[in-house]
Chain A
Amino acid sequence: MPLDDHTPDQTPGEARQFKVVGTRPLRPDGIDKVTGRARFGADMSAPGMLIGRVLRSPHAHARIRSIDTSKAEALSGVKAVVTRADFGPGDDDVADILDNCMAGEKALYDGHAIAAVAATSAAIARKALKLIDVDYEILPHVTDVDAAMKPDAPVLHEGLSDETVPEGVSQNVVHRVEFGHGDVEAGFAKADKVLERTFKTAATHQGYIEPHACLATMGADGIADLWVCTQGHYMVRNTCAAILGIDQGKLRVTASEIGGGFGGKTTVFLEPVALALSRKANRPVKMTMTREEVLRATGPTSSTSIDVKIGMNKDGKITAASADLRYQGGAYPGSPADMGSMTAFAPYDLENVKTVGWDVVTNRPKAAAYRAPGAPMAAFAVESVVDELAKGFGLDPLDVRLKNAAREGTKSSYGPTFPAIGLEATLQAAKDHPHWKAPLGPNQGRGVACGFWFNFGGDTCVSLNITPDGTVTLTEGNPDIGGSRASMSMMAAEELGIPYDQVRTVIADTGALGQNEVTDGSRVTFAVGLATIKAARNAKKVLCERAAMVWGIDPDAVEWVDGCARPAGDNAGKFPPMSLKEIAAIASNTGGPVAGHFEVNAEGAGVSFATHMVDTEVDPDTGAVKVVRYTVFQDAGKAVHPAYVEGQFQGGAVQGIGWALNEEYIYGEDGRLQNPGFLDYRIPVASDLPMIDTVILEIPNPGHPYGVRGVGETSIVPPLAAIANSVSEAAGVRMTSLPMSPPKVLAAIQAG
């Protein structure tokens, strides 16, 4: 049969007719989620379960002289207390993660875990925490990125800087990166105007509504089970096994339904602690974070300080561009300064470009990924300068972006040459949209900005099993964070030629499949979708073989059409088609169960671009900003379930609105977080917002059988800049610091 995994799937640009893909069926997990039945991280219990709680440092930076847990251990109902002494040295690869989960010699930020207790009730556990005596030597601290880079700044870790870091800066600078090509100085010399600006962005939090939660069971034999809300239970397994010194195969991790992640649930916090408590108490241990713990002690974004310099000619052509990007990533190395440096100028076709990124540690919780990590801040800085230059020359900001837009064949600012990409399509769609021509009211401004994200593939393993009655179970290993079960079922149904409701997609535990990369990098619809399609093709090959066996013809003379095996070539029409159901019914007599599998380290994710357009209104008396109209233009490659693609566009835009206008980690002089709650860390609410309009562009990704590109992350890249450009126009003054909160906007208006 002519089904070969290596045959070209689809000519790029060729319009393929889909039956299921592109429709909007109801999601298969929907009823559970609207009736309260769906089980999230904190919704699971076990017989004999204890409750675990964490004692956290009240100091931003302190040496831990001693910890006395004896009084807590003596409290009735307390079954285990753990400190760092209960963990072995662990692998080097996870040393920082372990130190973040349970402090070693020093507490490095307000909220850093110092000890943990498991007790028969939450009340007893809380009481026990108060009985733990910690002797701290308080050390000077630093939370601001520019301050942390100064040679005399308090140092978090001695000797951590690598060879990329030049002399003369603090040891808090742990890594420096550089990207680009051409000669920027020569390029600036040719420009009609060179503009340089400095920008600041505050740290923000992913703000998922579900706090971290897990339920751990571990015995003295090292056999362990973990139920956890996470974006990647294979990552949790591997990391916890390394921290606890057990084999990966001994720990089975089951992902609960996940109440939001956005990158914040791509590492571990409670999980190794819960396992250690369970091992010590020999009982199941459940741990959940409070909202205060989530904000103080999980993984917010970097705060940044960025210089951007761009040279432009009167016709809008950019002659050279450079940026210096300083990202503090909290108490351990790994801020996304590298990603910021790579993405900053990615939307542009530039002859001369250079970016330098600085990874800086400070006394804050270690940054985790947040939706296109590192990119929104860089885009804010770059797109603000592009906008100011364009307006200074009296040019249309969309025309200027079109003039300089990266396209197929452009050597990107971070190295690779782009294949077919959709940036120009989003810009043209923006230019043609009624929003662009709509009149503005008093005190209103309109801003546009572009954004880029790489997208990712990675390790993926799926299993597609056909039941005896001919329905299909697709087993995959990525938590469904926003409707991916629906997309997978749709792609399986499309490929098999059967109705959507004949496929059930199940998220397996770590014991059921091989390694699966975390649900991150906008990878799931692309990579798991690709694996699903390939697994379905493998299953179809077996189905055709079974039909060939029944008909007594060569399997190569059978083709799969519309959910049925059909004799092809010379045999065409000689036998009636056999449906999937009919073949499944006789599977036991033709060789056994029918399944298709596919394992891959998926490549070809296909980069993604978006253009956002926003109208804001600024109250000149208070500085308050209202978003009055918002339109997202983004390339999806192929939208599998358009409603959920729109949802990703809308959600990313609104998170960007929060980042631009409200959200901010505020540290006091004492280095303590001043706003660890949803009242003071204010994410957008329904009454803040208009509807978020979306335009889906479909420029097929040549790396996916159906042309799919990831869509989840790119949508948060342009909004910071688009809103800043809009507010700057409305307020009549250039805004260079986020969030653009009312006091800041008012001060800028009054100063301007």
Chain B
Amino acid sequence: MSQIHVTTKINGDTTEYLCDPEETLLDVLRDRLGLTGAKEGCGTGDCGACSVTVDGRLVCSCLMLGAEADGSEITTIEGMAEGEKLHPLQQKFLEHAALQCGICTPGILVAAKSLLEKNPSPTEEEARYWLAGNLCRCTGYDKIIRAVMDAAEEMRRAS
């Protein structure tokens, strides 16, 4: 089967690619575009390590076809910092030691940013439920939740 031509905007840059019909958006990001920040932890939408946003909506990129992204705006972990300036969530994850191995970190940061865009003042319970689709096996989530709550507070103060 011939490949499909797709035009998207990824982290603000217009990007074109050809992909096979069965290729996932995650495959395209990682294997065709060299954006390896999104990780494949399960391939079935259960772990959230591949989280990106598509037109502002949080998705598991392993559950979406690359061909479906035509005309969409995609943001990945690589688009989170502005140049050298880390997003407050990234900074707080470092300060709170909210990562150990770091494999889930990109997906959790993308998901947490999406949470704070929708709900700048989440309760701890809301943060825990929003991030329930992002598995972390190292931390027990304690420091992750603290980092998200701290970042939310700082972002509220700054706005």
User: Is A95 close to B, CB under 8 A?
Assistant: no
CB <8 Å contact, B141 and A42: no
A655 to B140, CA, bound (A): 8
Question: Known contacts A34-B99, A38-B102, A259-B102: does B46 contact A651 (CB below 8 Å)?
Answer: no
Chain B neighbourhood of A33, CB < 8 A: 99, 102, 105
Chain A residue nearest to B81 (CB atoms) is A35
Report the minimal beta-carbon distance from B14 to chain A, rounded to whole angstroms.
Answer: 20
Chain A residue nearest to B138 (CB atoms) is A651
CB <8 Å contact, B132 and A685: yes
A648 to B94, CA, bound (A): 16
Chain B neighbourhood of A30, CB < 8 A: 93-94, 99
Question: Known contacts A33-B102, A36-B78, A678-B46: does B139 contact A647 (CB below 8 Å)?
Answer: yes
CB <8 Å contact, A651 and B37: no
Chain A residue nearest to B107 (CB atoms) is A209
CB <8 Å contact, B97 and A651: no
Chain A neighbourhood of B140, CB < 8 A: 647, 650-651, 653-655, 684, 689, 692
Report the minimal beta-carbon distance from B82 to chain A, rounded to whole angstroms.
Answer: 11
A690 to B155, CA, bound (A): 24
Chain A residue nearest to B38 (CB atoms) is A36
Question: Known contacts A35-B78, A209-B137: does B145 contact A678 (CB below 8 Å)?
Answer: no
Report the minimal beta-carbon distance from A669 to chain B, rounded to whole angstroms.
Answer: 25
Q: How large is the interface on B (under 10, 10 to 19, 20 to 34, 35 or more residues)?
A: 35 or more
Q: Among B37, B102, B128, B135, point to the contact of A257 (Cβ < 8 A).
A: B102
| Interface set, chain A 176-210, CB cutoff 8 A to B | 206-210
Chain B neighbourhood of A646, CB < 8 A: 97, 142-143
User: Is B47 close to A, CB under 8 A?
Assistant: yes
CB <8 Å contact, A209 and B136: yes
Proximity bits, A679-696, B CB within 8 Å = 1, else 0: 100011111110110000
User: Is A347 close to B, CB under 8 A?
Assistant: no
| Interface set, chain B 1-49, CB cutoff 8 A to A | 20, 22, 30, 35-44, 46-47, 49
Proximity bits, A38-59, B CB within 8 Å = 1, else 0: 1110110000000000000000
Report the minimal beta-carbon distance from B153 to chain A, rounded to whole angstroms.
Answer: 16
CB <8 Å contact, B128 and A687: yes
A677 to B40, CA, bound (A): 13
A288 to B46, CA, bound (A): 18
CB <8 Å contact, A655 and B36: no
A38 to B102, CA, bound (A): 8
CB <8 Å contact, A42 and B40: yes
User: Is B127 close to A, CB under 8 A?
Assistant: yes
CB <8 Å contact, A27 and B97: yes
Among A42, A641, A653, max chain B CB count under 10 A is at: A42
Chain B neighbourhood of A683, CB < 8 A: 135, 137
CB <8 Å contact, A40 and B39: yes
A131 to B78, CA, bound (A): 39
Q: Among A39, A123, A291, A692, point to the contact of B41 (Cβ < 8 A).
A: A291
User: Is B131 close to A, CB under 8 A?
Assistant: yes
A691 to B109, CA, bound (A): 19
Q: Among A29, A37, A288, A483, point to the contact of B37 (Cβ < 8 A).
A: A37
Question: Known contacts A31-B86, A679-B46, A689-B128: does B41 contact A211 (CB below 8 Å)?
Answer: yes
A688 to B136, CA, bound (A): 12
Chain B neighbourhood of A691, CB < 8 A: 142, 145-146
Report the minimal beta-carbon distance from B147 to chain A, rounded to whole angstroms.
Answer: 10
User: Is B101 close to A, CB under 8 A?
Assistant: yes
A679 to B41, CA, bound (A): 12
A141 to B124, CA, bound (A): 48
CB <8 Å contact, B43 and A290: yes
Chain B residue nearest to A657 (CB atoms) is B140
Proximity bits, A349-375, B CB within 8 Å = 1, else 0: 000000000000000000000000000
| Interface set, chain A 4-36, CB cutoff 8 A to B | 24, 26-27, 29-36
Q: How large is the interface on A (under 10, 10 to 19, 20 to 34, 35 or more residues)?
A: 35 or more
Chain B neighbourhood of A651, CB < 8 A: 100, 137-140
Main secondary structure of the interface of A (DSSP, over half): loop
Question: Known contacts A34-B109, A39-B36, A651-B140: does B94 contact A685 (CB below 8 Å)?
Answer: no
Report the minimal beta-carbon distance from B127 to chain A, rounded to whole angstroms.
Answer: 7
Proximity bits, B65-88, A CB within 8 Å = 1, else 0: 000000000001110110000100
User: Is A706 close to B, CB under 8 A?
Assistant: no
Chain B residue nearest to A644 (CB atoms) is B97
Q: Among A36, A655, A686, A689, point to the contact of B137 (Cβ < 8 A).
A: A655
User: Is B152 close to A, CB under 8 A?
Assistant: no
CB <8 Å contact, A483 and B97: yes
CB <8 Å contact, B101 and A686: no
User: Is A500 close to B, CB under 8 A?
Assistant: no
A641 to B131, CA, bound (A): 27
Chain B residue nearest to A121 (CB atoms) is B20
User: Is A262 close to B, CB under 8 A?
Assistant: yes
A684 to B131, CA, bound (A): 12
Q: Among A24, A40, A483, point to the contact of B103 (Cβ < 8 A).
A: A40
User: Is A481 close to B, CB under 8 A?
Assistant: yes
Question: Known contacts A35-B37, A647-B97, A686-B145: does B132 contact A291 (CB below 8 Å)?
Answer: no
Q: Among A24, A35, A686, point to the contact of B128 (Cβ < 8 A).
A: A686
Proximity bits, A371-403, B CB within 8 Å = 1, else 0: 000000000000000000000000000000000
Q: Among B42, B47, B101, B132, point to the contact of A258 (Cβ < 8 A).
A: B101
Chain B neighbourhood of A679, CB < 8 A: 44, 46
Chain B neighbourhood of A653, CB < 8 A: 140
CB <8 Å contact, B100 and A26: no
Report the minimal beta-carbon distance from B3 to chain A, rounded to whole angstroms.
Answer: 12
A604 to B17, CA, bound (A): 57
Q: Among B36, B37, B47, B144, point to the contact of A686 (Cβ < 8 A).
A: B144
Chain A neighbourhood of B106, CB < 8 A: 34, 36
User: Is A429 close to B, CB under 8 A?
Assistant: no
CB <8 Å contact, A259 and B135: no
Chain B residue nearest to A35 (CB atoms) is B81
CB <8 Å contact, B90 and A481: no
Chain A neighbourhood of B49, CB < 8 A: 209
CB <8 Å contact, A687 and B129: yes
Report the minimal beta-carbon distance from B42 to chain A, rounded to whole angstroms.
Answer: 4
Chain A neighbourhood of B93, CB < 8 A: 30, 34
A613 to B140, CA, bound (A): 16
Chain A neighbourhood of B80, CB < 8 A: 35-36
CB <8 Å contact, B103 and A678: no
Chain B residue nearest to A691 (CB atoms) is B142
CB <8 Å contact, A677 and B42: yes
Top 8 nearest A-B pairs (CB, nearest first) are A36-B37, A259-B103, A654-B140, A33-B102, A678-B46, A643-B97, A36-B77, A650-B140
Known: A647-B138, A689-B142. 7 other contacts (CB 8 A): A26-B94, A34-B86, A35-B86, A655-B140, A678-B41, A687-B132, A691-B145
A-B contact pairs, 29 of them (CB 8 A): A27-B97, A31-B94, A34-B86, A34-B90, A34-B105, A35-B86, A36-B77, A42-B30, A42-B39, A209-B104, A210-B39, A257-B101, A259-B41, A259-B104, A260-B101, A262-B137, A291-B46, A481-B100, A482-B138, A643-B143, A647-B138, A648-B100, A677-B44, A685-B131, A685-B135, A686-B144, A687-B125, A691-B145, A692-B142
